[in-house]
Amino acid sequence: MKVLGKITSRLKLITNSGINAGKNTAIRSLSLLTLLVCVHCPLCGQGKSPSARAGNTRALVSFVGCASDGQVGSLKAPSGRSKTMAIPAAAAQRVAYYKAEQGFGVLAPKGWHCFGAYGSNGSSLYVSPDPINAAELFSTTWKGFRGPVIQISSVNGGTSGRFEVARIIARVFPERKAFVEEVIAEGIEPASSFPYGRYPADSLLYRGENIVEFVTPGQTDGLGTASRVQKNDSPICGVAILFGEEPSLLQLSLRLPSKNSDLAQLIIAQAEREAERFRD
């Protein structure tokens, strides 16, 4: 309660200073407000694992290969060795690094199931405590995952994936608006398919011009549901990252069981580290 009281007082000061100092200060104040909200969001584990971002400890993490299917047919799960990562040793005992033949890998709790999908527009990897029905993933009637799941998707902005990239840019990367306008100018999809402005309920934390962490509250639409993760009573956390010249998009969306909620920020931080290899 003391912490919440301090946060409330701080937010009042921030809001007042923003009003008094003008538009630019108000924008900076809102960013700080969002940061405070995100850091103290216990449901998604943000702020619980500072060492996960600091990278001051390293540990060996088990590798799990994931089967996949897509444009040129099914692919077997790749074999791989354990990876040394910048995470606490205790956490390394609870997670594994899951990876399909195509696309990015992701940290997830040990013992989960995984499957990947890929095509010319990009690739996605899904990791869930429940078995994943590959046929459902490619079904036009399946709506998505209802329970705990981790999805990491890489969307190619230079192919048909540009439409999805443009939709996310319109929501949270205003400085890249020119890309959205170019996609709309093609005339393939109407401008109404690319609404501008953040989702009202989302909490956003920008870590740079092209990277934003998010929390989508339960039973609301937001960046978290701009995926195969269906809304329920629990929040969806993650990060959206632009990389490459096109640009392309890396989006991580995750909803963890309460017993694993402390792993959320660790999983997000590792995805951000991987994306650094491809960012300009």
- Predicted local distance difference test score (pLDDT) of residue 279: 65
**Chain segment 241-270, per-residue pLDDT in tens:** 999 988 999 999 999 999 999 999 999 999
Q: Give me the pLDDT at residue 9, please.
A: 38
Mean pLDDT, the chain, rounded, equals: 85
| pLDDT < 50 stretches in the chain | 1-43, 46-52, 54
Percent of the chain with pLDDT over 70: 79
DSSP states of the chain: -HHHHHHHHHHHHHHHHHHHH-HHHHHHHHHHHHHHHHHT-GGGTTTS-HHHHH----EEEEEEEE-EEETT--BPPPP---EEESS-HHHHTTEEEEEESSS--EEEETT-EEEEEEETTEEEEEEESSPP-HHHHT-SS---B-SSEEEEEEE-TTSTTHHHHHHHHHHH-GGGHHHHHHHHHT-SS-GGGS--S--TT-EEEEEETTEEEEEE-TTS-SGGGSSSB---SS-EEEEEEEETTTTEEEEEEEE--GGGGGGHHHHHHHHHHHHTTT--
